[in-house]
Amino acid sequence: MAVRAVRGAVQLERDEAGHMDEQVSELLTAVLERNGLTTDDLISIWFTATPDLHSDFPAAAARKLGIVDVPLICAQELEIEGAMPRVVRVLAHIESDKPRADIAHVYLGAAGALRKDIAQ
């Protein structure tokens, strides 16, 4: 099996812990489903959040989904003028037999505008 990386993002409507949990869970579920993955295929996941999100750690949603034995880390995105607000991004390292070109990167809702070149 090869090590691959899957990208994704979602824009939150508001900075509330329950809403973040819901949206990040939806994003992670879509990443797994669209790539035919189980939690056993996960190596690690990096989460970033824009500086305007303070209500919770995005990784908390992964733990609630049962992703408990995978290393997770959260970091803050750069604060760039004009950047899309309230965005959680994910970079998941996975084991997969899929060629790199067949990996489905998941950008939900308005976050699809961030990477029109790879969003599926």
Q: How far apart are CA 13 and CA 48, in angstroms?
A: 16
Q: How far apart are CA 58 and CA 107, in angstroms?
A: 16
pTM of this structure: 0.94
Q: Give the mean model confidence (pLDDT) for residues 63-69.
A: 96
Asked if the model's pLDDT at residue 14 lies above 70, the reply is yes
Q: Give the mean model confidence (pLDDT) for residues 87-95.
A: 98
